[in-house]
Amino acid sequence: MSLTIVNPSFGEVEQHPGDRLALDRGSITDLAGRIVCLFSNNKPNVAPFFDELERLLTEQLGVKRTIRAGKLSSAFPASEEELRRAEGVQYLIDAVGD
């Protein structure tokens, strides 16, 4: 398995071979004990991606808990109610499953 991590704020792309999730220590230093929201656009390919990402986050990085949230439809912006599901998390990962 190979992971590609993209930092959209700087356009940086890193390739990480192997089966370990590696993070850029300059941007996210420690996820252990944190709550992470996995926010989906509700397209079919997001679910299997988040399943594996959730496993890696908890098993390898010690994430305390993940919360699944997302839009009911990929065709429309997220509603206020959908966005409220992510309140109180330290990190949010948004994915588009095209």
Mean pLDDT computed over every residue of the chain: 76
Phi and psi at residue 28, in whole multiples of 5°? Answer: -125, 110
Q: Six-digit token pair at 81?
A: 């109610």
User: Cα angle at 96 between 56 and 50, to 5 degrees?
Assistant: 20
Structural element, H or E, at residue 2:
strand 2-7
**pLDDT tens-digit map of 20-62:** 444 544 455 578 899 999 998 888 888 888 999 999 999 888 9
CA-based max dimension of the chain: 38
Domain extents for the chain?
31-98
Beta carbons of 50 and 95 less than 8 angstroms apart? yes
